[in-house]
Structure 1
Amino acid sequence: MRSPTATDVARLYSAHEEKHGFKGMLSSIDCMHWEWKNCPVAYKGQYTRGDHKKPTIMLEAMASYDLWIWHAFFGMAVTGFDALKKGTAPSAPFEVNGHQYTKGYYLADDIYPDWATLIKGMSCPTDEPRIKFTRFQASARKDIERAFGVLQG
């Protein structure tokens, strides 16, 4: 696991645009609860939520179409955003509709904050372009779901 280089970013841009139709997309980001089987008794209350019967920790990850997981964080979900906050992504400009952007973006779901680097789907798209975008985004986000399935297996 390593951070992407400028060459990696160019490859990710090209592959995601070709496969999903999203120009400037680096990867999808998501998190899941991972059961902590050997959790110390002293921590069980801190790491058990009402909707999970056993202690869990969060796994946050970014994965691309080829199952390359180039960011992973175990722990409390809030602190996993540090890499995104610091702006450590490599500079990799791209252009969409005549507008120049300096950094790529990640496809995310509604649990993530409203940041320029996180593109979320629309919860209730009403017109055809928004419906189409949401359908394409859901298809592209299957990359991270597939990566989580491989990790769980």
Structure 2
Amino acid sequence: MASSSNNGNDGSLDDICDDSFDDICDERFDAILDQRFDEVFNNYLARQASKKAKKKRAYIEREREVGHQCLWNDYFSENATYPSNIFRRRFRMHKHLFMRIVDQLTNEVPYFQQRRNASGRLGLSGLQKCTAAIRMMAYGCAADAFDEYLRLGESTAILCLENFTAGIIHCFGDEYLRRPTREDLQRLLDFGESRGFPGMIGSIDCMHWE
């Protein structure tokens, strides 16, 4: 009787043990899954926040109008602070040539035209943009070297230089960026001879002087 009684309970005990084991496994699996999901989700949020932090750029109010006015008073006003000889040294050209370049670029290249933004505020002037480009070429300096004076950022200065070189090619390429004609060569020879350098075309580096 005892033997038959035990045999009758074996199936129910096994079922109970199997159900308990399955429940424990399900609970542990769910816990591991939830933990892993939380880790992946938190890592995703951290990466997104890091990307936003990298993309976020601090806006600096440079007061570009002040930069234009200061530049104008220093070199281009009727009673400019610095005379023409200092302008020639710092810009590597005469003022009338610089103004010719600025006027030509302003008339033919939209990038150098001063415009108003959506709020009605004027952007950088053609003088500021051209000055930034020419100073970078004249001094071979970094793009942010004139930020405090001209009031434009590094990326804007690089754009000024790129658009300036492209604008010069567009506006003056056919006239100046070409092979010299016979008349051009003769004019250069005559000019060099009048300065004491017969037979010279272009500049001289003084390496061949005795």
Q: Give TM class, smaller chain.
A: under 0.3
| TM-score for the superposition, normalised by structure 1 | 0.23
TM-score (norm 2): 0.18
Question: Where is the helix percentage greater, Structure 1 or Structure 2?
Answer: 2
Whose Rg is larger? 2
Structure with bigger RCO (C-alpha 8 Å, 6+ apart): 1
Name whichever structure is richer in strand by fraction. Answer: 1
